[in-house]
């Protein structure tokens, strides 16, 4: 029975990730129901390469997520961004699944400020999908674009496109990795409180709406929560920030499928000379 359930879950998420070729990464974003297109940190590599144009310190992160507490649906990811004299270079990867079904996504990006208020970035990723050794491995290359605008000192507007060219996964029925458009806004209501909201549209799928909140009561602690629809998921978590180290923990809850715990760690390792 357990094997049958795992196989069913795997096939279900195989369809989902084949359509996407992308998953939200990092426990900070997960705790706010995957609202990440307006946030600026190392994991912006996975959410909006344009936001990395505002990174001022070299930063690297690792993340782990166990979707619905099943090891067969686990995701590991890495991301790093380093400011240059002009612009920011970034690398990252995400690795999903287990032996029978596995997808990998890894690439390189470049971001830069176009002005004091606007930054943009591009990214090229290598994609691979393996569905049981008998079916072999499919390879592909995708491109992404993102931009972030600081409309005011308190309001950020972000936009990103995943898989601009609609990379083909298989010739059978013209199966392709999905193209995802995300538009989000964040508002710093108070110095300690940020509100975020986002709309996501993936071709051939329902529109997803998200909202989240991040509260920073003391220097060490962040408290976060969020909700998203289609399907409905609730999320919450917290983060610890000590000097250059950041540890984030989160969980998302689906009323039918259960809990999705996640953890991530970020280190700011490099400060460029002014």
Q: Which residues of 136-163 are buried (b: 16+ CB within 10 A; e: fewer)?
A: eebebebebbbbbbbeeeeebbbbbebb
For 94-125, the pLDDT digits (tens) are: 999 988 889 999 999 999 999 999 999 999 99
- Distance (Å, whole) CA 208 – CA 73: 21
Look up residue 227 and give its two tokens.
Answer: 């909700």
Residue 111's beta-bridge partner residues?
88, 121
Residues 6 or more apart whose Cβ sits within 8 Å of residue 45? 52, 79, 80, 81, 90, 91, 92, 109, 123
Are 213 and 239 in contact by the 8 Å Cβ rule? The answer is no
Query: Would you list the domain boundaries of the chain?
Result: 2-269
- Distance (Å, whole) CA 12 – CA 197: 27
Predicted confidence band at 155 (pLDDT cuts at 50, 70, 90)? very high
For 7-54, the pLDDT digits (tens) are: 444 444 444 444 445 788 999 999 999 999 999 999 999 999 999 999
Predicted confidence band at 168 (pLDDT cuts at 50, 70, 90)? confident
Selection from 219, 226, 169, 179 nearest residue 29 by Cα: 226
Q: What is the DSSP letter of 10?
A: H
Are 207 and 229 in contact by the 8 Å Cβ rule? The answer is no
pTM beyond 0.75: yes
Look up residue 130 and give its two tokens.
Answer: 């393996």
Which of 3.40.50.920, 2.40.160.60, 3.40.50.720, 2.60.40.1120 would CATH assign to domain 2-269? 2.40.160.60
């Amino acid at each position: 029975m357990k094997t049958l359930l795992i196989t069913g879950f795997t096939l279900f998420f195989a369809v989902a990730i084949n359509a996407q070729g992308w998953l939200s990464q990092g426990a900070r974003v997960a705790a706010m129901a995957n609202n990440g297109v307006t946030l600026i940190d190392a994991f912006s590599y996975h959410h909006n390469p344009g936001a990395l144009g505002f990174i001022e310190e070299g930063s690297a992160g690792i993340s782990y997520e166990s979707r619905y507490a099943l090891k067969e649906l686990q995701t590991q990811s890495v991301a790093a961004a380093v400011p240059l004299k002009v612009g920011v270079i970034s690398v990252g990867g995400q690795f999903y699944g287990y032996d029978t079904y596995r997808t990998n996504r890894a690439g390189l990006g470049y971001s830069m400020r176009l002005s004091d208020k606007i930054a943009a970035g591009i990214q090229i990723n290598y994609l691979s999908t393996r569905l049981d050794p008998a079916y072999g491995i499919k390879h592909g290359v995708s491109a992404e674009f993102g931009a972030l605008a600081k409309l005011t000192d308190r309001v950020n507007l972000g936009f990103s496109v995943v898989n601009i060219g609609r990379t083909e996964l298989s010739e059978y029925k013209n199966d392709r990795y999905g193209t995802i458009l995300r538009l989000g806004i964040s508002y710093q209501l108070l110095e300690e409180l940020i509100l975020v909201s986002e709309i996501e549209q993936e071709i051939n799928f329902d529109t997803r709406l998200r909202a989240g909140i991040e509260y920073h009561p003391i220097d060490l602690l962040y408290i976060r929560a969020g909700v998203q629809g289609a399907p409905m998921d609730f999320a919450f978590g917290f983060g610890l920030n000590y000097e250059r180290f950041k540890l984030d923990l989160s969980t998302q809850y689906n009323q039918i499928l259960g809990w999705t715990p996640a953890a991530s760690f970020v280190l700011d390792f490099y400060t460029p000379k002014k």
